[in-house]
Amino acid sequence: MNKAILSILGRDRPGIVAAVARVLFDQNCNIENVSQTMLQTEFAGIFIVSLPGGMTAEDLHRELDARLAPIGLTVLTKPCDHGLDTCAAAACEPFVITTRGPDRMGLVAHISGVIARHGVNITNLQAMFKGGDAPGDNIMIYEVDVPRAVDLQTLAQDLRDKAADLQLDISIQHRHIFEVLHRI
């Protein structure tokens, strides 16, 4: 099946998802996955859509751009790679890594660097920095897929060491435990 991935960016306001979904519906595209958020005052949305027969990602891009640029939205479009699911191939376990601490440049770079060195894939990242030293104001939550071949003790120790260097509190939990503990 022919698919495309879309990134939609622009100043946040009501109706953006509706406008994008309308264009996709009008073009006979099906939304398969979507993740959207507001970052400060900006809308950021990522959509994976299946395309009808004969339509290319470039065709869809032209239509999206023609209809969304006039309302101040930027569209990036690319064909989806139908490659192998790396976690399924490597037999992974889902974990959640949470850090809290003083804000400074490079926090995401340092923590994600440790994660990458161990061959762990970040599947979702939420980071909120309000500045200053109040730990509750500066939080990063990494959802990761850890291949079973990775030594969890070494990964956890390397993350704790880096967090200590950065004066961060860190928590590393299997996602199922995280979900149970954070269920409302």
C-alpha span between 38 and 100 (Å, rounded): 21
pLDDT reported for residue 129: 78
How far apart (Å, rounded) are the C-alpha atoms in residues 35 and 46? 5
- In a shared domain, residues 68 and 91: no
Task: Please tell me whether residues 129 and 75 are part of one structural domain.
Answer: no
Low-confidence ranges of the chain (pLDDT < 70): 82-90, 132-136, 178, 180, 182-184
Q: Based on the fold, state whether residues 52 and 103 are members of the same structural domain.
A: no
Say what the pLDDT of residue 86 is. 54
Terminal alpha carbon distance of the chain:
39
pLDDT at 142: 94
H helices of the chain, where? 16-26, 57-68, 86-90, 107-117, 152-165, 175-181
Range of the domain at 153: 86-181
The CATH number covering residue 166 comes to 3.30.70.260
Q: Are residues 63 and 103 in the same domain?
A: no
Question: Where among 61, 79, 97 does a domain terminate?
Answer: 79
Same-domain pairing of 65 and 98: no
The total number of structural domains in the chain stands at 2
Comparing C-alpha atoms, which of 84, 86, 113 is closest to residue 97? 113
Q: Is the domain of 160 the same as that of 104?
A: yes
Q: Return the pLDDT at 127.
A: 86
Residues 60 and 121 grouped into a single domain: no
pLDDT at 104: 85
Residues 6+ apart with CB under 8 A from 74: 8, 9, 10
| Widest distance between CA atoms in the chain | 55
Exposure string (b/e) for 109-147, b if CB count within 10 Å is 16 or more?
Answer: ebbbebbeebebeeeeeeeeeeeeeeeeebbbbbbbbbb
- Residue 89 confidence (pLDDT): 53
Q: Do residues 122 and 162 share a domain?
A: yes
Residue 105 confidence (pLDDT):
86
**pLDDT tens, position by position, 60-91:** 999 999 999 999 999 999 999 766 555 555 59
Residue 118: what pLDDT? Answer: 97
In this structure, are 52 and 33 located in the same domain? Answer: yes
Residue that terminates a domain, selected from 60, 79, 98: 79
Last residue of a domain, one of 33, 63, 79: 79
Give the pLDDT of residue 59: 96
The H or E element that residue 28 is part of is: none
